[in-house]
Structure 1
Amino acid sequence: MKASKLSLVLTTLLGAVLLSGCENNMVVFQPQGPAARSILDLINFSLVMMFAIIIIVFALFGFIVWKYREKKENLDYEPPEEHGNTVLEIIWTLIPIIIVVALTIPTVKTIYALDKIPKGYEEKEPLVVNVTSADWKWIFSYPEQGIETVNYVNIPEDRPIDFRLTSASTMQSFWIPSLGGQKYSMANAETQLYLVADNPGSYMGRNTNFNGKGYAEMEFEVQSQTQKDFDKWVKEVKATAPKLSEKEYEKMLEPSHLGRKTFSNTHLDWVDHSKGQSQNYIKPELYKREHGYPGKIFKEEKLETDHNQHGTDHSQHGNMNEETNDSHGGEHNGH
């Protein structure tokens, strides 16, 4: 028994020593914008609440075990039969309700606040950036500036960014941990996410929704710049970057990994995947090259056709029954 306890202690100490050298890079706890700070405040509040609950529960557990432990003077003690205590039952029913309410109120308030421009930035005009996700890359379109980037996005500091998210294929999740929470991008739909970067810097973003073999490497860089540097970058792109053709864009949407690309126009000139045009660019048969088996598109039209065919069959069946009844009626009349 003593040997097993000693082994457990040594294993725990060894694990602590080995893990102490690991890098602790939890960017969620290093917010670089108001949205990320709101989320961190909510996380910290939840952690404090849970820690307080754990302390109280373990303290009560230890007190009860110690107080009602077996002792020499109570070896023959038999507790009286009881049928419940109304006051205690009300207390331990109300406590979980209070805990849930205490966690729900700040959570709901934070979620609704994140759907708006961060507080303090309402008077600043947001920069609109259309985000189109594809397997396995991110495409950023600047409709006001008329430029487009792939797998990186430059934004001005201290200005709200209006990310408008959609997908050219499967559903993905857009997340920049240093700046805010995640939001889904879906084909034929548009979701909206407001973020602000407090200072110039480089922040990594990624897809957090599993969508196939290339999911793990579906990352992008967010480069926060001063407004002056951002305007300078836009001018350079418009002057030097090549034009994106529809044929090249269609090739770019195939399931694959790409490096960074920059264009002096946007694919919004001919397609907006949030408005029901994605089906023209989705080619599920190409997934066989990456996964070993082809994808498949399920169309609602087929279900409607089948339903109509069933309706026609029932109608024909009903007519046949009527004809049969008429013929039987003639035979009976003959009799």
Structure 2
Amino acid sequence: MSRLRTLFLLPLLASLGSCSMVVLNPAGDVAEQQRDLLMVSTALMLIVIIPVMALTIFFAWRYRQSNREARYEPDWDHSTHLELVIWAVPLLIIICLGAVTWMGTHLLDPYRPIGRVAAGKPLPPDVRPLEVEVVALDWKWLFIYPEYGVAVVNELAAPVDRPISFRITSASVMNSFYIPALAGQIYAMPGMETRLHAVINKSGDYEGFSANYSGAGFSGMRFAFHGLDDAGFQAWIAKAKDSGGKLDRNGYLELEQPSENQPVRHYAAVDS
């Protein structure tokens, strides 16, 4: 019987082994602060949850029918001490959660420019944010770099420790722009512009995708996000400029047509 149980558990263990813990081990300062907020909120809630679960088991065992030594008090209905604990502890936790959430909501407002590169590392006053315009298409992502005059489909790059300012919109239906290692998800909506400010602190290749279902090709709306040093980022920009293509109005209208699993495409110039 134990072998049979082990066989049933193996697929579950295999699926868990393939899970990525990027949300709890991010590479960007904004995502790290969001992770800390999640951990603090969870710890505060566990102050109540763990004792309640433990007491549920204790009471079920202590007052089971076969235990003749348990006190039987059918007329008991009130305890001031218990009332104080039952009401005061959750109230204090709610106050703490409210304070933590209020501060986190304002400090991590995606529209608010970031004030630091990382914990204990303030933002240098002479650093300009990297501007990236994000357009959600059916079913691909278009990234435009106005500062460098290039555009890329389904690939994104940014230098390490340089703030990034995203301007996000959609050409058709609502999507959700999400790079778990960088920051939280932000909706991309047609006819509107949303914003996100973030920074990547570690070099590496990370995954980005749409976190909002948008039709048949939704599962293919994934892209690579590269965190690069300054030399690597300049080389990436040079590669885009060497591609030779130009994104003009006709090219954009063609790109805008629904298509699935689009490969990475670079544009050396972008029509204003």
Q: Same fold (TM over 0.5)?
A: yes
Query: Which of 246, 261, 266 is equivalent to 2:265?
Result: 261
Q: Give the alignment of 1:74-223 within 5 angstroms.
A: 79-80=74-75, 82=77, 84-85=78-79, 88-89=82-83, 91-115=85-109, 116=112, 117-119=114-116, 120-121=122-123, 123=125, 124-223=127-226
Q: Which runs of 5+ in 2 are unaligned?
A: 117-121
Query: Which of 19, 41, 44 is equivalent to 2:12?
Result: 19
Displacement of 1:178 after TM fit? 1.1
Identity %, equivalent residues: 35
Inter-partner Cα distance in structure 2 for 1:152 and 1:74: 67
Is the strand fraction higher in 1 or 2?
A: 2
The alignment partner of 2:208 has SS state of strand
Displacement of 1:225 after TM fit? 1.4
Distance 1:20 1:81, change over 3 A: closer
Is the helix fraction higher in 1 or 2?
A: 1
Cα offsets for 1:46-95 (capped at 9, x unmatched):
333344433211222233334444444679x562264x556644542343
Distance 1:25 1:78, change over 3 A: closer
Match of 1:28 in 2: 23
Count, aligned residues: 259
TM-score, scaled relative to structure 2: 0.83
- Higher RCO by CA contacts (8 Å cutoff, separation 6 or greater): 2
Inter-partner Cα distance in structure 2 for 1:17 and 1:134: 40
Inter-partner Cα distance in structure 2 for 1:206 and 1:180: 12
Q: Report the more deviating stretch, 247-256 or 66-75.
A: 66-75
Q: Which runs of 5+ in 1 are unaligned?
A: 1-6, 270-335
The alignment partner of 1:27 has SS state of coil
Distance 1:230 1:139, change over 3 A: same
**Partner letter of residue 105 of structure 1?**
A
What is the RMSD of the two structures over their aligned residues, measured on CA atoms?
2.6
Displacement of 1:229 after TM fit? 2.3
Inter-partner Cα distance in structure 1 for 2:60 and 2:35: 37
TM-score, scaled relative to structure 1: 0.69
Q: Do 2:248 and 2:270's aligned partners in 1 also have CA atoms closer than 8 Å?
A: no
Q: Indicate the structure (1 or 2) with the bigger Cα radius of gyration.
A: 1
